[in-house]
Amino acid sequence: MPSRRDFLKAGLTAGAGALPLLHEADGYSMDGGLHGEQEAASTASDAAGTLTTLPARLPTAMETAQQWQLGVRRVGQTNMTEHDPAVMNVEAWADYWSRAKADVVFISVTGILAYYPSKVPFHRHGKFLHGRDFFGECVAAAKRRGLRVVARMSPDLNWDDALAAHPEWAMRHPDGSAQRSSEEPLLFKTCMFSSYMDDYVPAIMREINSLYDVDCFYTNGWPPLGSLPDCHCSICRKLPASGSPAYWSVFTDRVLDLWRRYDAIAKEKKPDSFFFANSGGNVRGGPNLDRLGKVATWFQADNQGRTYEEPAVWGCSLQGRVCNAVMDGKFAANVTAAYSTGNPGWRNLTKSADEARMWLNETVASGMVPYFHFIGAESGLGEDRRWQKIGADYFQWTARHDAHLRTRRSIANLGVVIGQGTQLLYPGPASDRSRSYMYETTQGIYDILLRGRFAFDFVHEDRLGPERLSRYRALILPNVAMLSDLQCAQLEAYVQAGGSLIASFETSLYDEHLKPRGDFGLAALVGISKAGDAIGTNGNPYYARIESPNSSHPHPILEGFRDTNWIAGAKNRLPLQPIDHPVLTVVPGFVRYPPELAYPPIAHTDEPAVVLRETGASRIAWFPGDVERTYWLTGQSDLLRLVHNAIHWVTRGERVVQVDGDGLVEMFCWETGPGYAVHLLNYTNPNAFHGWLQSVTPLGAQRVSMRLPSGVRIRTVELLRAESSLPFDVKEQTLRFTIPTVEDYEVAAITVA
Ligand SMILES: [Zn+2]
């Protein structure tokens, strides 16, 4: 039996080939990680780890704002209806946003209906405009109060007179008929590949620039989010099929070409003006987010509130992590709907205050700028005025703490690869086709990471270079099915430099064109080989057999599993060829009913249910099953524990910040100008997974510890929500303090000397 030292030596000289296998007899429990230091790793309150020293602080010069939008901390919008010129009190509108300390307001120019006496053909004047310059009055009222102005356009819909004159502007069905708005059939959908975008939109922009002093331009309703357009007009018929990787590329090219042209038009009047468009769509996005992030100077996340389809409370902070992955400190805002989101949704009624506040909390905690939004101004400023106090109170609170709420960079040491291509284009495995497959996968890993209180970032698959990955102790690839040869090579380089990986199921089984590979793109790196196609379930998923259940030194990923030989497998798996000394093996699935037949036809196989590798500082855990999605579908606690154990094992228990206490909490840790900020979002609530928050369930003490870079001294620790200072303790560069209670949200703001 070779010693662990032999394995490490072999691994260090193994080059790009397979890493040596580690198994129980090889003494991996000597690693100094969490093994033996804790009872169980799967709950927040008992998780223990090793604190990693934070990276050296960035130089102060980083704070200098190059672009005016980097100084924006609050964004306001009363989304104007056609009727508003007849009823809105313009002075009261401007007073509200000024009093709320908004820095910038969105004012509707539109494109569907003109809010000023536009002369652009087919820019139809609103019914209640009567020749009045409503847009101009709003711009003037905002400017008198020192508010900047976003000129808001909507290029997605127009009317039948435009269609009659320009039939080429419409999106078409396969039968050639024009596609219509699903709610207002008098409006047709415009095609983004048509001259509508080349001619009509620029004409409006130039008209606005010639008449008004606006600070930038924005398009609502375009580009589409979370899915790709499906148009059969004469132009689109010549493009690759919608939904294909080739179409996604052409679509992104067109979006970015228009984006750059609109940006140049914005700058024709003044060089610090710019263009930005509706973005968001969380991990699916729309255009390729790596490419978008290189062009955009304002990421406008249109993620307004929870829906039946996306019911988890963390939908906004998930979006924030997507923005952080591609914006690298450039401006990002998320719009919180004060109105009643959902389906049906009451567009003109305020939602519960606790729900609206949590969405704003998530915006701020995830490093985005809060943007509050209500629709229409009947009776002067709205028939329902409840939203006004919610927004103003929240904005005024942030204004008192701007210095601590502005982020410099995340200090997380875990990266989760988004796999945007997989999210948008992969249809699910052959064993379980589903449009929601990757959505559920993402929710599963998100839930798992929150319950383990891990500090993590999202990473875009087109940004896997060493300059970015070197900050992460480990990367997680939750069924990132599509990876190019280059991306696989980048992951190999990351592992060879000492980085660790967790990956699952069909990760790297397809290239970036969704072309299946004969074997995993990461097969050589991990030392695995595909043994067949994806296998689903006939009622009873596969199980994972603990190969040495009575061992006195169980592998650390088995921590906490006692009195059982079996633990949960997953709903689907991609079978692997046997490996030496597997820690878990597959017990193939069988029927759940009738119970007479609910037993394994084969009791013992040599098919691995996990593959564990180690070389030098790097560790790899590969799950052949779709463990994250299966956890999301079922809540199976074995899967939660198994993935937590795997994260602890591959990171050797290293954490950048430790937060111990009860409750379901999402955590963000930032380096800030004054020092650091630890944000805790309290999701412990009966409505965390459905509907809206109707109340807050406060949490008890949360104990925070982090290891400071050498030379960094702490001046104060303050709680920004409680607006109180907090005692703290520093020993051997480890900062410790206890937050006595968390209502819906708390920010521990740390000021360094
Ligand atoms: Zn088209």
What stretch of H or E contains 299?
A: strand 298-301
CATH of 74-155+193-400 given 3.20.20.80, 3.30.70.360, 3.30.43.10, 3.30.70.20: 3.20.20.80
Which pLDDT value is given to residue 38? 34
Res 15 pLDDT > 90:
no
Say how many Å lie between the CA of residue 104 and the centre of ligand 1: 34
| Phi then psi dihedrals of residue 255, to 5 deg | -60, -45
Token digits of residue 670 = 């930032």
CA distance 527 to 40: 29
Mean pLDDT across the chain, nearest whole number?
Answer: 92
Q: pLDDT tens digits for 224-240?
A: 999 999 999 999 999 99
User: pLDDT-based confidence at 28, cuts 50/70/90?
Assistant: very low
List CB contacts of 499: < 8 A, sequence separation 6 or more: 469, 470, 472, 473, 474, 475, 618
| Residues 745 and 704: beta-carbon distance below 8 Å | no
Say how many Å lie between the CA of residue 108 and the centre of ligand 1: 26
Query: Residues in the chain, how many?
Result: 753
Say how many Å lie between the CA of residue 193 and the centre of ligand 1: 6
How would you classify residue 581: left for phi > 0, otherwise alpha for psi between -120 and 50, otherwise beta? left
Say how many Å lie between the CA of residue 239 and the centre of ligand 1: 9
The ranges assigned to domains in the chain are: 4-31+412-655, 74-155+193-400, 658-752
Say how many Å lie between the CA of residue 662 and the centre of ligand 1: 53
Say how many Å lie between the CA of residue 219 and the centre of ligand 1: 18
What stretch of H or E contains 146?
A: none
Token digits of residue 28 = 């991996």
Q: pLDDT tens digits for 357-402?
A: 999 999 999 999 999 999 999 988 889 999 999 999 999 999 999 9
Res 47 pLDDT > 70:
no
Say how many Å lie between the CA of residue 194 and the centre of ligand 1: 6
Say how many Å lie between the CA of residue 233 and the centre of ligand 1: 4
Which pLDDT value is given to residue 8? 32
- Write out the DSSP string of 383-414: S--HHHHHHHHHHHHHHHTHHHHSEEEE---E
Q: pLDDT tens digits for 584-613?
A: 999 999 999 999 999 998 989 999 999 999
Which pLDDT value is given to residue 48? 53
User: pLDDT-based confidence at 60, cuts 50/70/90?
Assistant: confident
Look up residue 197 and give its DSSP letter: I
CA distance 479 to 507: 5
Which pLDDT value is given to residue 309? 84
| Residues 706 and 413: beta-carbon distance below 8 Å | no
Which pLDDT value is given to residue 64? 54
Q: pLDDT tens digits for 338-360?
A: 999 988 999 999 999 999 999 99
Nearest one of 158, 170, 296, 310 to 236, comparing CA atoms = 170
Say how many Å lie between the CA of residue 106 and the centre of ligand 1: 29
Say how many Å lie between the CA of residue 288 and the centre of ligand 1: 19
How confident is the model over 125-131, as a mean pLDDT?
A: 97
Which pLDDT value is given to residue 391? 98
CA distance 657 to 634: 29
Q: pLDDT tens digits for 143-187?
A: 999 999 999 999 999 999 999 999 999 999 999 999 999 999 999
How would you classify residue 152: left for phi > 0, otherwise alpha for psi between -120 and 50, otherwise beta? beta
Say how many Å lie between the CA of residue 631 and the centre of ligand 1: 40
Which pLDDT value is given to residue 61? 60
Q: What is the domain class of 4-31+412-655 according to CATH?
A: alpha beta
Percent of the chain with pLDDT over 90: 89
Say how many Å lie between the CA of residue 82 and the centre of ligand 1: 28
How confident is the model over 247-276, as a mean pLDDT?
A: 98
The three-class DSSP label of residue 363 is helix
User: pLDDT-based confidence at 308, cuts 50/70/90?
Assistant: confident
Nearest one of 331, 325, 323, 324 to 303, comparing CA atoms = 323
Q: What is the domain class of 658-752 according to CATH?
A: mainly beta
Say how many Å lie between the CA of residue 168 and the centre of ligand 1: 8
